[in-house]
Amino acid sequence: KQEVTQIPAALSVPEGENLVLNCSFTDSAIYNLQWFRQDPGKGLTSLLLIQSSQREQTSGRLNASLDKSSGRSTLYIAASQPGDSATYLCAVVEAAGNKLTFGGGTRVLVKP
Amino acid sequence: DAGVIQSPRHEVTEMGQEVTLRCKPISGHNSLFWYRQTMMRGLELLIYFNNNVPIDDSGMPEDRFSAKMPNASFSTLKIQPSEPRDSAVYFCASRPPGVRTGNTIYFGEGSWLTVV
């Protein structure tokens, strides 16, 4: 059974610092990995999707890397802003099925 | 595009009552997912449909839970009878057809259920 872990569960940084969020998964047979953002009281918004054949994806200040063989992905957010405060979740689509398995999320607070 | 629409947004009900949550996926999407989110267990997949057919319901916690998708634009998740431990946020999500590896999943705003 696929298990997705995100450490740390919470992170607080001063504005301007770079954020590094970690995601690990136990079964490397994945189709893709997605990073989501969730604001309080809201649904999830997709940030980046990395195919299993890719090593990284970039969108603006966000960069996500994927090392499938070691079961790890990292989301980098450059020059953090207070508006980046949210919970960030990673999820993998398993090769054996169509569903996403989510990590527990990392709650981020960027202090002005 | 209106996105995935869920109703009700908030519901408070008494233990033992029937609860029906509704979802309208994005037009043209052919996969629909029901997730439950709690502080203790995070996001759990309850069931997902492909082309209106339930594919995997292994996450449905027990027989009190049932889900239907009578057509491509509507799905329901029903809890009968409800219990306090069912209190959670229930998310519906949909995904467009095509190469499954490359398609993003879109979430609704969630239905916040409290059973007292």
pLDDT, position B1: 63
Chain B residues inside the 8 Å CB shell of A32: 101-102
Whether residues B42 and A51 touch (CB distance < 8 A) is answered with no
Summarised one tens digit per residue, pLDDT across range A87-106 is 999 999 887 667 789 999 99
Average pLDDT over chain A, rounded to an integer = 93
Position B35 pLDDT exceeds 60? yes
φ and ψ at A71, to 5 degrees?
Answer: 70, 45
In which band, very low, low, confident or very high, does the pLDDT at B102 lie, cut at 50, 70 and 90? low
Chain A residues inside the 8 Å CB shell of B33: 99-100
**Would you state the structure tokens that stand for residue A59, as one six-digit string?**
């969108």
Position B29 pLDDT exceeds 70? yes
Whether residues B107 and A45 touch (CB distance < 8 A) is answered with yes
pLDDT, position A100: 86
Whether residues A98 and B48 touch (CB distance < 8 A) is answered with yes
pLDDT, position B96: 87
Burial of B71: CB neighbours in 10 Å, binned 0-12, 13-18, 19+: exposed
pLDDT, position B101: 46
Cβ-based neighbour number of residue B113 at 10 Å:
21
Mutate to test the interface with B, among A3, A98, A101, A106 (most CBs of B within 10 A): A98
pLDDT, position A84: 97
The whole-number average pLDDT for the span B15-28 is: 97
The span from the CA of B92 to the CA of B58, in Å, is 16
Mutate to test the interface with A, among B44, B103, B105 (most CBs of A within 10 A): B105
Chain B residues inside the 8 Å CB shell of A64: none
Position A5 pLDDT exceeds 50? yes
Please enumerate residues of B whose Cβ is less than 8 A from a Cβ of A.
Answer: 4, 31, 33, 35, 42-43, 45, 48, 50, 55-56, 91, 93, 100-102, 104-110
The span from the CA of A110 to the CA of A62, in Å, is 15
**Radius of gyration from C-alpha coordinates of chain B:** 14
Q: Report the relative pairing of strands B5-7 and B10-13 from DSSP bridges.
A: unpaired
Chain A residues inside the 8 Å CB shell of B91: 43-44
The whole-number average pLDDT for the span B81-94 is: 96
DSSP code for B26: P
Summarised one tens digit per residue, pLDDT across range A11-38 is 999 999 999 999 999 999 898 899 999 9
Percent of chain B with pLDDT over 70: 94
Position B33 pLDDT exceeds 80? yes
Whether residues A34 and B104 touch (CB distance < 8 A) is answered with yes
- DSSP characters over A51-75: ETT-SEEEETTEEEEEETTTTEEEE
pLDDT, position B26: 95
Chain B residues inside the 8 Å CB shell of A103: 42
In which band, very low, low, confident or very high, does the pLDDT at A50 lie, cut at 50, 70 and 90? very high
The whole-number average pLDDT for the span A26-51 is: 92
